[in-house]
Amino acid sequence: MTTDVKTRNQELIQEVLSAYPEKSAKKRAKHLNVYEEGKPDCGVKSNIKSLPGVMTVRGCAYAGSKGVVWGPIKDMVHISHGPVGCGQYSWASRRNYFIGVTGVNAFGTMQFTSDFQEKDIVFGGDKKLDKVMDEIEALFPLNNGISVQSECPIGLIGDDIEAVSKKKAKQIDKTIVPVRCEGFRGVSQSLGHHIANDAVRDFVLDKVDGKAGEFVSTPYDVAIIGDYNIGGDAWSSRILLEEMGLRVIAQWSGDGTLKEMEATPKAKLNLIHCYRSMNYICRHMEEKFGIPWHEYNFFGPTKIAESLRAIAALFDDTIQEGAERVIAKYQPLVDAVVAKYKPRLGGKTVMLYVGGLRPRHVVGAYEDLGMEIAGTGYEFGHGDDYQRTTHYVKDGTLIYDDVTEFELEKFVEAVKPDLVGSGIKEKYVFQKMGLPFRQMHSWDYSGPYHGYDGFAIFARDMDMAISSPVWGMTKAPWK
């Protein structure tokens, strides 16, 4: 990027900082930067408490555990333990697709809550939790287990959900997982992911100790980790792995089951897509069971092909040939997508602000369509995310960590990208500004975006957003 852009971005950062009280400006300054090529990271601090009162986009640990890691496990009942709200607002809103008969053998789009009342706060909720579990067992007998997703009050009133869970697990002879993901823990969703991963370790993997899974192992068994099957992402990924000759024995956690989690230690390799939310459990399985793990990226044909080859390199010739066969099979589709959409999208600029893996992982997919990333940032990234980001972004890219709505609005106003990719809370702000927008958490109710099949949808959607006639109508002709 030109010096002009770099200077402008630096000035922009100074400009937004000047709006804050001095103390807050000092703190925010550490989270904003312009990427310098060759540096080992993006030069921003991350995973630090959000400032109060600034309109952070971040959520909480409960969102990270119930909403991300545990919620998609479809054959378990996940209790939003505490007051009614948390479960209500996160009810079926994340589009973790699954197959099953809801309310009978699958529960992913239901809201189970202990609906705390004042007396539960005063006298404690353990007895209620005990009863909640009995009632789940009576009314939903085909559940394969229960998780307790703690909301804020649980940790504050001194409830012992571990004891209740232990007792009930013995009583009903099913897996019951207490998760201490109270919303006030940590600084964002991120600690919730970690806590949820630890709960998987302690209450699922340790329990079966690698002895689950009734199938006969093959040398090609792998698990998909950190794919939440949003709009079917894990499915359009799985199909590629299977087509190249691997066998996917578990999906974590989109369209996943308890049995799949339990059987994962039989995998020869763990393939991790969302590093941020599930690296912990991969590291654990590596230490305890010696299972290697590998990060991949299934957004856009360049990264998909790179990933397929890198994965194949960890297996024998059969799989390596399989990878080449898959890449060749989809090449005509890739060519057709690029031929159709690149002429329309080439040279367009994008600003991203998302969570998890997306602030970097989707960059390649945009570049495959000839688009450029002008700015990106993580809601709840850590230092290692910003290191990894350097492999994706170009010199001069604006980097914003835990951006506030104020900053993002100012940045977008000044940079004037052709497309903004962020979340539901941002969508309408930028559309009001007359800017094409795509939700990059929920795929804006479309998807899948993973895999070759998903790339066609991604390209169509970005084109649809940018090429809509509506953006030409924001100003009245008489003005």
Q: Are 77 and 140 in contact (CB under 8 A)?
A: yes
Question: Which residue from 11, 26, 30, 184 is in contact with other proteins, where contact means CB under 8 A?
Answer: 184
* Structure tokens, 379: 């809601």
At 440, which amino acid appears? M
346 binds other proteins (CB under 8 A): no
Token pair 């800017």: residue: 435
101 binds other proteins (CB under 8 A): yes
Q: Which stretch binds other proteins (CB under 8 A): 50-58, 279-287, 288-296, 304-312?
A: 50-58
* Structure tokens, 327: 């890449």
368 binds other proteins (CB under 8 A): no
475 binds other proteins (CB under 8 A): yes
| Short-list 392, 385, 33, CA closest to 193 | 385
Residue 281 half-sphere exposure toward CB, CA atoms < 13 A: 34
109 binds other proteins (CB under 8 A): yes
The site string for other proteins over 294-323 (x = CB under 8 A, - otherwise) reads ------------------------------
78, 193, 238, 273: the active-site residue: 193
180 binds other proteins (CB under 8 A): no
| Distance from C-alpha of 396 to C-alpha of 304, rounded to nearest angstrom | 26
Question: Which residue from 43, 100, 210, 370 is in contact with other proteins, where contact means CB under 8 A?
Answer: 100
CA distances from 447 to 256, 370, 451 (A): 18, 20, 11
Which lies closer to other proteins via its Cβ, residue 140 or residue 289? 140
14 binds other proteins (CB under 8 A): no
Q: Are 409 and 420 in contact (CB under 8 A)?
A: no
Q: Which stretch binds other proteins (CB under 8 A): 117-125, 271-279, 292-300, 308-316?
A: 117-125
| Distance from C-alpha of 406 to C-alpha of 414, rounded to nearest angstrom | 13
The site string for other proteins over 413-432 (x = CB under 8 A, - otherwise) reads ----------xxxxxxxxxx
CB of 336 to other proteins, least distance (A): 4
Q: Are 426 and 57 in contact (CB under 8 A)?
A: yes
Question: Which residue from 85, 219, 343, 346 is in contact with other proteins, where contact means CB under 8 A?
Answer: 85
| Short-list 8, 55, 6, CA closest to 28 | 55
DSSP 49: P
| 42 has catalytic annotation | no
Q: Which residues lie below 8 Å from residue 455, measured CB to CB, with a gap of 6+?
A: 299, 300, 301, 304, 334, 337, 365, 368, 449
165 binds other proteins (CB under 8 A): no
| 58 has catalytic annotation | no
Q: Which residues lie below 8 Å from residue 296, measured CB to CB, with a gap of 6+?
A: 271, 272, 273, 307, 310, 311
Question: Which residue from 26, 30, 39, 131 is in contact with other proteins, where contact means CB under 8 A?
Answer: 131
| 63 has catalytic annotation | yes
At 115, which amino acid appears? D
| 94 has catalytic annotation | yes
Question: Which residue from 457, 462, 465, 466 is in contact with other proteins, where contact means CB under 8 A?
Answer: 457
Question: Which residue from 5, 17, 29, 51 is in contact with other proteins, where contact means CB under 8 A?
Answer: 51
3-state secondary structure of 261: helix
| Short-list 150, 147, 157, CA closest to 202 | 147
Question: Which residue from 10, 111, 302, 349 is in contact with other proteins, where contact means CB under 8 A?
Answer: 111
Q: Which stretch binds other proteins (CB under 8 A): 32-40, 286-294, 382-390, 400-408?
A: 400-408
Q: Are 444 and 227 in contact (CB under 8 A)?
A: no
* Residues that contact other proteins, how many (by CB under 8 A): 129
- Residue ranges in 211-270 that form contacts with other proteins under rule CB under 8 A: 213-215, 231-232, 235-236, 238-239, 242, 248-251, 255, 257-260, 263
CB of 386 to other proteins, least distance (A): 21
At 383, which amino acid appears? G
| Short-list 428, 297, 272, 309, CA closest to 366 | 297
* Structure tokens, 286: 């590596």
340 binds other proteins (CB under 8 A): yes
28, 81, 94, 360: the active-site residue: 94
CB of 195 to other proteins, least distance (A): 13
Q: What are phi and psi of 248, to 5 degrees?
A: -85, 115
Which lies closer to other proteins via its Cβ, residue 238 or residue 388? 238
| Distance from C-alpha of 423 to C-alpha of 307, rounded to nearest angstrom | 27
| Distance from C-alpha of 298 to C-alpha of 327, rounded to nearest angstrom | 12
Question: Which residue from 71, 82, 178, 436 is in contact with other proteins, where contact means CB under 8 A?
Answer: 82
Which lies closer to other proteins via its Cβ, residue 111 or residue 302? 111
89 binds other proteins (CB under 8 A): yes
63, 152, 223, 374: the active-site residue: 63
24 binds other proteins (CB under 8 A): yes
At 126, which amino acid appears? D
362 binds other proteins (CB under 8 A): no
Q: Which residues lie below 8 Å from residue 398, measured CB to CB, with a gap of 6+?
A: 9, 12, 13, 34, 35, 351, 374, 375, 376, 411, 415
23 binds other proteins (CB under 8 A): yes
90 binds other proteins (CB under 8 A): yes
CB of 218 to other proteins, least distance (A): 11
> Active-site residues: which are they?
60, 63, 94, 193
